[in-house]
Amino acid sequence: MELLDYAFMQRALLAAVLVGVTAPAVGIHLVQRRQALMGDGIGHVAMTGVGLGFLLGTSPVWMATLLSVVGAVLMELIRWYGRTRGDIALAMLFYGGMAGGVMFINLAPGGSNANLTSYLFGSLSTVAPSDVTAICLLAAFVVLVTLGLHRQLFAVGQDEEFARVTGLPVRALNLLTAVTAAVTVTVAMRVVGLLLVSALMVVPVAAAQQLGRSFAATLAIAVAIGVGVTLGGTVTSYYQDVPPGATIVLLTIAAFVVLTALAAPLARRRARALAAARPAGDPAECAIPATRAADGAAGV
């Protein structure tokens, strides 16, 4: 393939695969906890990290990772202790993150809002070798956490109170989930962009839920969708000269629409198969045990 002859496309495709794996792997836990918009909020905070990276002359990716982790921890603490004023605190955190990014990028020597564009919406040509190294290390952390602790994370997502009773460190696991989501945002920002990364964390999971009948199956389908749309969007962006982040998100939404359309007939087919497999006569749950019938006939 022609695009593989270019080093920047090799880096972009590798980053796309890593994003396609990590975003749904974390997103499924956020969806399970009804925190689907957390990725969007972390993306706003990460903008301050990108701006600081330019201002201080350091790596925007690593600086965005640091600020995203701090922001994710603050979001989790606000969720615990914020009570009625928590939504206002979160709003200030999100808007402050956006404003900080714009301010710092303009204070940086030679900086302007144009420097933020590739981080806000993704850019294939600007994925540097140092970015690939950072993305690989961060993606490895995300995969280790989501696979190594999947049982504990699932239990906390299903029922925090029950998980606490069983002895699981609920607050520590919630913080770890928030940190992992923050890391995932910075993994994905070079391919999808900070403003669109939340869609890649949530929509593949929502699409997979149309077909998956278990947590493991839903996760596998979501990751397959994530890898498929990120690779498809990256290749399309190269050949058609369209924005990669927007292309990937639109492909993800198209996958959701297609799988939703397929889900209804598949559900009807499963229902007919179950009905055909059920023995004739009364359902098992309605049948009267023979001993009780005999007792009734005897007048007991």
Q: What is the pLDDT of residues 279-294, one digit of tens each?
A: 655 454 444 454 444 4
Task: Express each pLDDT in 21-79 by its tens digit.
Answer: 999 999 998 888 888 778 888 888 898 998 898 888 888 889 999 999 998 888 888 87
Please tell me which residue, 3 or 155, carries the higher pLDDT value.
Answer: 155
Q: What percent of the chain has pLDDT over 70?
A: 87
Q: CA–CA separation, 251 vs 230, rounded Å?
A: 8
Alpha-carbon span 144 to 281, nearest angstrom: 51
Helices H / strands E in the chain, number of each: 13, 0
Instruction: Determine the average pLDDT of the residues in 271-278.
Output: 70
pLDDT tens by residue, 173-195: 888 988 999 998 888 887 888 88
Indicate the Cα dihedral angle 99, 101, 103, 108, nearest 10°. 180
pLDDT, position 267 = 67
CA-to-CA distance for 191 and 136, rounded, in angstroms? 13
What is d(CA 160, CA 174) in angstroms, rounded to the nearest whole number? 10
CA distance to 75, 84, 94, 170, 290, per residue, from 90 (Å): 7, 12, 6, 22, 62
pLDDT confidence of residue 108: 83
Longest dimension (CA), the chain: 97
Alpha helices in 57-196 (DSSP H): 60-81, 86-107, 117-121, 129-148, 150-158, 160-165, 170-188
Specify the pLDDT at position 281. Answer: 52
Six-digit token pair at 61?
């990716």
Instruction: Return the amino acid letter for 273.
Output: A
Give the SS3 label for residue 250. helix
Q: For the chain, first and last CA: distance in Å? A: 82
For CA atoms 225, 238, 40, 184, give the dihedral sign.
positive
Q: Is the dihedral of CA 98, 141, 154, 212 positive or negative?
A: positive
Calculate the average pLDDT of the chain: 82
- Looking at residue 90, its pLDDT comes to 75
Residue 219 has which token pair? 């996760």
